[in-house]
Structure 1
Amino acid sequence: MSSANLTRQECAARSAAITLSDVHVELDLRHARDPQQAGFRSTTTLRFDATAPQTWIDFIGEDVHRVTVNGQEQPVEYDGARISVSGLTASNTVVVDATGLYSRSGEGLHRFVDPVDGETYLYTQYEPADSRRVMACFEQPDMKAAYTFVVHAPIGWHVLSNQSAASVAQAADAQTVTFAPTLPLSSYITAIAAGPYHRVDAEWTRGDQTVALGVLCRPSLAEFLEADEIVQVTREGLDFFTDAFAFAYPWGKYDQIFVPEYNLGAMENPGLVTFTESYLPRGAATDAQRGGRANTILHEMAHMWFGDLVTMRWWDDLWLKESFADYMGAHASAAATRYTDAWVRFAANRKAWAYQQDQLPTTHPIVADIVDLEAAKLNFDGITYAKGASVLKQLVAFVGEDHFFEGARRYFAAHAFGNTTLEDLLVQLEEVSGRDVRAWSRAWLETSGMSTLSLTPAGEGEWTLEQTDPRPHRLRVGLYDLVDDALARRDILELDITDARTTVEAGAADLMLLNDDDLTYAKVRLDPTSLTAVDKALSTLAPLPRALVWASLWNATRDGELAAVRYLAIVGRHAPAEENIGLLTGVLANAAHAIGHYVAEHDRQAQRAGWLETTWAAMTDAAPASDAQLSWARAFAAAASYVDAGASRARAILDGTAPEGLRVDPDLRWALLTALATSGNASLDDIEAELARDDTASGRTAAVRARASLPEREVRVRAWHRAWDDTGLSNDHLSATIAGVRAGGRRDLVDDLDAEYFPRIMPAWRDRSIELARRLVVGLFPSTEDLEPVDRWLEDENAAPGALRRLVLEQRDHLARDLRVRAAQDQLAV
């Protein structure tokens, strides 16, 4: 095992022997603008008590120059990931003088040069274990400390960290910013950002507490920042969580910064939350996109309490922060902001991620068994986030909302600035609710998989509710009648079920909707009568039941129980009338996926052509300048990558002959041009001309993808090899290159490279960062008709790292599902 891959067992032993008190970090970023300077000086002073004479300190960088222990210099014992220190006494001060490396992978201290202004922008991203790429540290969440950061940087730069600056000294062309010490934090949620960012200031006041707010981005994106909207959501969230948790926001200031080439949606660093620039659309944006951004703002804000104030002891209990934050993001959006449809989007889209993950052979309980850091890195998945949030919604229904929040308040009061496990939360919830929360936990948090619920007639006025993989559910059954071609709810039944079969007394209904109001986590099947009713009148349902029906149809399609062509027909009939843009966006993505993965091979081209026409017609029929028109235009651009017949219409939009009102922003232009390039209807000269028009960071990334998408074998093969071999590619440019290789489903251009894939993945895992290696392993997996090569690799490489095997197993399962569902299509009723 690599020395960089820390295990749970050794970290537990280290924290038992070491009590960390405070850490002082000095970073010299004065030469960050010089591309010849690959690294930066990092000097860390750690103060801690010890009951063992030796330990190790984590650091990944260019070199460690000097180590002193209690004032005595020691020989440097450094293996590239761990610094061994010895001669420890009861109380210790260790100083590590080292050089870290600027990152182009989004891990550690990422350095980015904006082509618009030529300026350099820095930010950190650490979770779960990349703070050691910037400072020497104890890289585990249960070793909290007060951190003091001192940063030397060019004059004129904003320099930010978790706390406000205590002092700023200027000399010549440099500034030294000393930040106030933090309250106790885990290393992975400390943060630094530096550069000539654009900043908007505001504040939030509640009673006698005033919190300074900052919203930042690169100046070249300032016109798209929508700072007023972001500040409004931030204030609403702080109001909501202050009341809900009865614990004042503890971290002083609240900066939110949108950064380039970011690997995540966002990260909850207290006092300095980082977000991907994808949340700043360049020109055109739907209200659903803004709602998604608001949800993420509130998700990260919930972490200020769930995760930052109270932190899991080890990554087994990652759900203690992520499941709660995912739940709170939707809950607070619906309760405190104008985005009251947050649970609608959650039901149809977010839970789809959970359902998919929970059917993989690598699924795991929400409370997972995380043996090492590599496993932790891959556990930021649909189980920990979306299933966990779905299950918490069931918990709220089980104990009652008032009891749930009271339990949370007691949890924060009891464990503020500490570390916890599952048991610490259960104690509080059980005490306030009087319910058997431990039995609930065993059924929901400590098992994997999900139930599938269905209804079958059982006699006059009776139905049998069946559930596979039985669990306790509190749920509702909606009874809907079809009146004047519209579905209306006549009655609703509330049930507690635990068994595989339950008798339900209910009269006949045109639609029997299981899990109405979406209280529980389960796949739901529609009975034949209900399927006929939604086929006819789906778009007449209210938003939440409509979301649940869309989800049910999609799950049945993925499971090979509903013909993909019937699903696409329902989409074609009802998606053009879908008023909720969050639902529409998900349905459009699912339809495209169904064509590419589940439609039988002999029918695929016809379905692609039909889908192109559907998207074009819906776009031209949509209200001018509406969110629906923009959503359909994006779907049309994606569809045109596969069908040559879309070329003339895509070109017309680019040339200015667009449907009335369509907002053709730079990102849509690139989507259309890439579609033309993929189908062979645009040239390299066209791509270079568009880049000249949009020579921005986003434009350059889009150009990388477009160039790699040209349907020429030489181009695709070159891009395939560049992805594996060019270690100078940034994270975003690597993803763009991989997307180009896969564009338009043209596997025939690179299928002879399949044999090279499996020999390459182990070296990539060994030599590249886990983030970049993951993109290669997943993105270039050979989706052939033959499972034998992957099965052979899994058999031959049974000693491969567990995290790598997990990725390959998941890709195998996706491919096996595709093949299985395609094979079933001709036997399914349309």
Structure 2
Amino acid sequence: MSLTLVEARARAAQLSDVSYAVELDLTDEGSFRCRTTVRFASSGPTTFLELARAEDLVVRVNGSAVEPSYASDRIALEGLLERNEVVVEARLPYVSDGDGMHAMTDPADGERYVSAYCGMDIAHRVFACFDQNDLKAPVSLTVTADPAWTVLANGLLTSVSDDGATRTFATTPPIPVALFVACAGPWHSVTWEHAALPFGWHARRSQAAELDRDAAELRTTTNDCFDHFAVLFEEPYAFDSYDQVFVPGLNWGAMELPGCVLWADELLPRGVITDGERTDRATVVAHEMAHMWFGDLVTMTWWEDTWLQESFADYMGYRVAEDGAGFAGTWVSHEASRKPGAYEADERRSTHPVAPEAEEIVDVATAMTNFDAISYSKGNSVLRQLVTWLGDEAFLAGVNRYLARHRFGNATLRDFVAALDESSDRDVHGWVDVWLRASGFDTLRVTLDGDVPVLAREGRRPHRLRVTAYDDELVERDSRMVDLGDEPVRLDDWAGLVVVPHAQGESFARLRLDERSWSAVAGGLHRIDDALTRAVLWSAALDLAHTRELSPDDFLALVATNLPHETNATIVGSVLRRVHRGLLVRRVPADRTATAVDTLAAACDAGLAAGPDAELTTAFTRGLAATSRDADRLRGWLADGRADSDVDLDPALRWTVVHRLAEIGELDEAEIAAEEAHDTSASGAQAAATARAARPTDGAKAAAWAAMTAPDVSNRMFSALAQGLWSPEQAGLLAPYVQRYLAEGPALAARGQAFSLVIGWSFPTVAFDAEQVAALRHTLDTAEVPTVLRRSWEDRYDDLS
């Protein structure tokens, strides 16, 4: 049962002074045991605790054993006093889908790892609790596990039993139970001390070489970000340690658990890690660290204010990684990779304000659907515009008022606006109404009055942004900041020039150039010196194709003309990803998909022929490996262990080549098995499953679907199989499985919210015909589709319609 806003408000009004003592026993591989002691004050005689899938349940209320009234993951509590102690003991299942106490045995060495992944509506899959943000509480933890294991948690380890099995951890400050964590296993660790605090990075033992390879950089990045936040924020870091753990099976890129941040272990890749990937990883370091203040120190009251955590962390991640840790080009990555998806999300029927009203988020299941591109990428962009419009000094003054005023408590948009309003003489309330309380975005349009460019806004939001002028060869001639409101802005001194507004991406708005300027850009976008401006224009081109103002053929012609000469590897990779599994699926008919893929391969080949630097060579080689139809060439790469571009085939690139050969029918089961035998890692097993599923045969597709629908399939294996199953070039072969996906998806999603997300993310990447679009609509109209999956499918329907 999903907790509702009404229930959460009533329980928060009744309860106070909550604390937890949690005891976990992880020694049994079949299930784990939990004993939770909850102490709290109550102004009423009844309430309920949440606890999911409990067996052998024992409940004691104020010292007396009671027959538990347990249904729909809730334990009813009756006869409560002013002060109460409730003890709940139970045996709970491990999970393989990342929602709860996740267990994984590493195929590389047989080692076992068990970690509590909490988050929204998940903590009660680990221990009995009041699972809502505004009942923050200190948590004491004891874990019994294999004495050879390392156990990490929110607080520092304070004692170990004589036999080494039982560890006790320091009691945390008040935190929401969603941010509880315990990670147990034979971790490989790198530790140090900085700013009088213990720090550490940890990974599975089989990833020791990768962690050691990156340890110096990860340590420096962590220290630099920590020191920069100490300059930005007046409130000191509130917890007693700072660990970061690469864990298996995490459903998010990373999670901001106080004192112990979790990372998806895919972010510690084998082989080559490019500068772009290093930069992106640094933004995640800064993002999760920002949460130590936005989310952990001060926590949203209810889920309408998800943006108060995620938008801020996303903005601070890009800002601090660049300004504090020295990773240049973070905003290029945001503009090229993340922002296009936010524009698309803001045009779907499911769009919502960055900060909706609380009553619009009726329950936790609905809240889960708002962890989306609006709350992250659009919210990030909107905050960047707020800083530009308000001024950095006023913005930070407001932030620090907000953090000081609500430390260890809960807050709302109203609280944040009040702090900003006290720090500025600008109309913050008016800005919030049009930017945060309203969905959608404005269009910035350039028109010509004779030869004079005129910049106008279609919409109602104030914008402060950079506008840049170029000559016909796209050499920059002038640039200035412009405040754009109701009245158009004439640029008389730029008559006859190409004009690009929003040139540094400071705002969130659709961009439409005059015909002359767009013609120059389409024919020579690569000639613009500034990478951030190019990223803005690539995003605008994708938007034109998305809205059908630019035909797929014209967009692919733009790619063929400009991408081979692009000098930023992040842009190259982003464009290829968004086109290959996005634009081709939504806008190119199935019978023309193969030709479009060939265009991408040719663009990569041309990029390599241009003799780029090492980063670009890697980006174009990766793109070619995923799109080439030249089987002899790809087989030669496998035989040599090296591409003809002189890029070594690290494990990820090698598996990309294997996947592509399988996809075009040039690799059989024996060859895939031979590759898998040489790579016994978890990622190797998943990559082999992807390759097997990609083969263009009825048998391969049937086997993949059977594995995807097995009752115990893990989240990672489901995703790996789906990546191979759905090939943009196999629409005809896959038609029966599109039908099965729609028919069986709702039942699969009943497993839980996280698995619903995985199913939604695994939507078929093939061109739908009219009959399949109608089938999707029919399923949504007639079937019982769980909330999280419904949101995902409604979005896909909007994209296809």
TM-score, scaled to structure 2: 0.95
Query: Which residue of 2 is the match for residue 476 of structure 1?
Result: 466
Whether 1:163 and 2:160 are equivalent positions in the alignment is no
Mapped contact 2:621–2:643 kept (Cα < 8 A): no
Aligned partners of 2:518, 2:552: CA distance in 1, in Å?
14
Cross-structure match for 1:613: 602
CA contact (8 A) 1:717 1:750 kept: no
CA contact (8 A) 1:218 1:259 kept: yes
SS at match of 1:98: strand
Relative to structure 2, which stretch is displaced further, 376-385 or 565-574?
A: 565-574
Q: Which residue of 1 aligns with 2:730?
A: 746
2:93 is aligned with 1:96: no
Maintained 8 Å contact 2:448/2:514: no
CA distance change for structure 1 residues 759 and 568 in 2, over 3 Å: closer, same or farther?
closer
In the alignment, the residues of structure 2 paired with residue 283 and residue 7 of structure 1 have an alpha-carbon distance, to the nearest angstrom, of: 46
- For residues 430 and 297 of structure 1, do their structure 2 counterparts lie closer, same or farther at Cα, with a shift above 3 Å needed? same
Alignment of 1:701-740 (within 5 A): 701-724=686-709, 726-740=710-724
Judged with a 3 Å threshold, the aligned counterparts in structure 2 of structure 1 residues 661 and 815 are, in CA distance, closer, same or farther, namely same
Whole-angstrom CA distance in 2 between matches of 1:51 and 1:377:
30
**TM-superposition CA deviations, 1:765-807 (whole Å, max 9, x none):** 33x122223333452458333332233333334x755444322
What SS class does the counterpart of residue 716 from structure 2 fall into?
A: helix
Superposed CA offset, 1:450-503 (max 9, x none): 112211112463x44343333221223211123xx4x23222343323338555
What is residue 820 of structure 1 aligned with on the other side? none
- Find out whether 1:412 has 2:403 as its counterpart: yes
Corresponding residue for 2:636? 652
Within the candidate set 183, 195, 198, 2:185 is matched to: 195
Q: Contact (CA 8 Å) 2:34, 2:92: kept in 1 or not?
A: yes
Distance in 1 between residues matched to 2:647 and 2:611, nearest whole Å:
10
What's the CA shift for 1:808?
Answer: 2.2
Q: After superposition, what is the alpha-carbon deviation per residue over 1:556-602, rounded to whole angstroms, capped at 9, x for unaligned?
A: 11111123223222322322332222222112223324344323556
Question: Partner residue of 2:380?
Answer: 389
User: For the structure 1 residues 731 and 794, does the alpha-carbon distance in structure 2 shift closer, same or farther, using more than 3 Å as the test?
Assistant: closer
| SS of aligned partner of 1:655 | helix
Q: Which residue identity is paired with 1:422?
A: L
Query: Bigger CA drift: 569-578 or 142-151?
Result: 569-578
Aligned length: 790
2:270 is matched with 282
Is the Cα–Cα contact under 8 Å of residues 456 and 488 in structure 2 kept in the other structure? yes
Deviations 1:121-142 (A, max 9, x none): 1222211111111100111011
Do the aligned partners of 2:708 and 2:721 also contact (CA within 8 Å) in 1? yes
Structure 2: distance between partners of 1:584 and 1:762: 36
Cα 1:761–1:114, aligned 2, differ >3 Å: closer, same or farther? closer
What SS is found at the alignment partner of 1:453? strand
Partner of 2:521: 534
AA partner of residue 538 (structure 2):
W
Match of 1:152 in 2: 144
Aligned pairs (5 A) from 1:518-667: 518-541=505-528, 542-592=530-580, 593-600=582-589, 603-619=592-608, 621-623=610-612, 626-640=614-628, 645-656=629-640, 658-667=643-652
Aligned AA (1:214): G
1:222 aligns with 2:208: yes
Asked whether the 8 Å contact 1:430–1:437 carries over to 2, the reply is yes
Distance in 2, Cα, partners of 1:289 & 1:80 = 43
Distance in 2, Cα, partners of 1:71 & 1:602: 71
User: Structure 2: where are the runs of 5+ without partners?
Assistant: none
| Partner deviation per Cα, 1:360-399 (whole Å, 9 max, x = no partner) | 1101001133211111222111000110010001111121
Taking a change above 3 Å as real, the CA distance of residues 603 and 29 of structure 1, as seen in their structure-2 partners, is: closer
Deviation of the 1:648 alpha carbon: 1.1
Question: Following TM superposition, by how much is the alpha carbon of 1:59 offset from its aligned partner in structure 2, in angstroms?
Answer: 0.7
| 1:235 counterpart (223, 235, 252) | 223
Distance in 2, Cα, partners of 1:81 & 1:179 = 28
Higher mean C-alpha displacement, 98-107 vs 559-568: 559-568
Q: In structure 1, what is the equivalent of residue 124 of structure 2?
A: 132
Matched residue type, 2:276: A
Is residue 117 from structure 1 mapped to residue 109 from structure 2 by the alignment? yes
**Distance in 2 separating the partners of 1:572 and 1:671:** 22
1:756 Cα shift? 3.9
Shift in Å, 1:683: 0.5
Q: CA deviation at 1:753?
A: 4.3
- CA apart distance, 1:757: 4.1
Contact 2:190–2:215 (8 Å) recurs in 1: yes
Mean alpha-carbon deviation: is it higher for 92-101 or for 580-589?
580-589
* In structure 2, distance between residues paired with 1:253 and 1:80: 37
Deviations 1:177-204 (CA, angstroms, capped at 9, x unpaired): 0001000000011110010000001121
Cross-structure match for 2:7: 10
Distance 1:9 1:688 in 2: 54
* Cross-structure match for 1:693: 678
| Cα offset, 1:322, TM superposition | 0.5
Q: CA deviation at 1:327?
A: 0.4
Residue equivalent to 2:321: 333
Structure 1 Cα separation of the partners of residues 574 and 459 of structure 2: 27
Per the TM alignment, residue 314 of structure 1 is displaced from its structure 2 partner at its CA by: 0.7
Alignment check: 8 A CA contact 2:590 2:729 kept: no
1:772 aligns with 2:755: yes
- The verdict on how the C-alpha distance between 1:464 and 1:554 changes in structure 2, with shifts beyond 3 A counting, is same
Indicate yes or no: 2:367 matched with 1:376. Answer: yes
Match runs of 1:50-89 below 5 Å: 50-89=42-81
**Percent identity between the two aligned chains:** 35
Deviations 1:201-256 (A, max 9, x none): 11212xxxx11110000121111120111111111111110110012111111100
Q: What is the distance in 2 between the residues matched to 1:431 and 1:374?
A: 35
- What are the residue-to-residue correspondences of 1:266-277 with 2, within 5 Å? 266-277=254-265
Aligned 8 A contact 2:563 2:603 in 1 = no
Letter matched to residue 6 of structure 1: L
Choose the corresponding residue for 1:795, options 777, 781, 788: 781
The structure-2 alpha-carbon separation of the partners of 1:474 and 1:8, relative to structure 1 and needing over 3 Å to count, comes to same
Contact 1:538 1:546 in 2 (8 A): yes
Q: Contact (CA 8 Å) 2:565, 2:610: kept in 1 or not? A: no
Q: Secondary structure at the match of 1:214?
A: strand
Residue from 194, 197, 204 that aligns with 1:211? 197
Q: Which moved further from structure 2: 151-160 or 71-80?
A: 71-80
Superposed counterparts of 1:16-31, under 5 Å: 16-31=13-28
Partners of 1:535 and 1:469 in 2: CA distance: 26
Q: Find the aligned partners of 1:287 and 1:351 in 2 and give their Cα distance.
A: 20
Structure 1 residue runs without a partner (length 5+): 817-830
Q: Match of 1:610, SS?
A: helix
Q: Is the 8 A contact 1:60 1:81 kept in 2?
A: yes
Q: CA deviation at 1:690?
A: 0.4
1:492 has 2:489 as partner: no
Q: Which of the numbers 87, 97, 100 marks the counterpart of 1:105? A: 97
8 Å CA contact 1:679–1:744 kept in 2: the answer is no
Shift in alpha-carbon separation, 1:630–1:460, aligned structure 2, 3 A: closer
- Between the aligned partners of 2:572 and 2:761, the Cα distance in structure 1 is 27
3-state SS of 2:475 partner: strand
Distance change (3 Å), C-alpha of 1:259 and 1:622:
farther
One-letter amino acid matched to 2:651: P
CA contact (8 A) 2:753 2:788 kept: no
Describe the shift of the 1:479–1:566 C-alpha distance in structure 2 as closer, same or farther (beyond 3 A).
same
1:757 and 1:678 mapped to 2: Cα distance?
20
What's the CA shift for 1:552? 1.3
Q: Bigger shift: 62-71 or 667-676?
A: 62-71
